Structure 1
Amino acid sequence: MTEQSRPAETATGRSAGTPVGAPTGTSAGTAGGTAGGTAGATSKPRTVPTELAALAMGVTQATIRKWASRGKLTRHGGPRRAEYDLDELFALARRGEIE
């Protein structure tokens, strides 16, 4: 891309034609996206650490780990940092499968 064909950027790093509320790196009004920048089921899960998952569900961290070991929740993250998908946690609560 040549310098002349690149859109001008403002001091915030946004293209001059991009609305202030639009996420950086995407164009406003693109088809297929949803409000908030999520792209549906194929998007990367919004994960939180065990402590925040327990807080969101109103249970202990041990309960979150127990649900993961029983297959009620999918554990994300690395070997030393467990994380859980917020949407999966909320779906579990909606189904009434919490203790």
Structure 2
Amino acid sequence: MATEISLNTICGHTTKIIATKEGKTTHIHIKTTCEKLSKWGTHFDVEMKDLMGGPESVLDQKMTEAPLTPTCLVPAAVMNACWLENGMISKNLARGMGKMEIIFDKLE
């Protein structure tokens, strides 16, 4: 089974993250229109030790090699996909939510 997460963000780019767990490794495949994010590569692996984040994690390494803007939601979406694939977030809960949003309630 796989987890797929799609993002439509304020920058105008679209991104799809596909996570597939195999043993202790979660394979990540990213399809994106973002040039900066494409520098991460389309495929990489996340190991169990990376699931809690931190300076030695694969996502931190990706951000060091090809930094994104601080407001980019993709790193959080990758982590959510990994957590879903590894049973750290309930897929039933996520399925019930359908989507997470950032709502700009008031802008003057």
Which of the five TM-score ranges fits, normalised by the shorter chain? under 0.3
The structure with the largest helix share of the pair is 2
TM-score, with length taken from structure 2 = 0.24
Higher relative contact order (CA 8 A, sep 6+): 2
TM-score, with length taken from structure 1 = 0.26
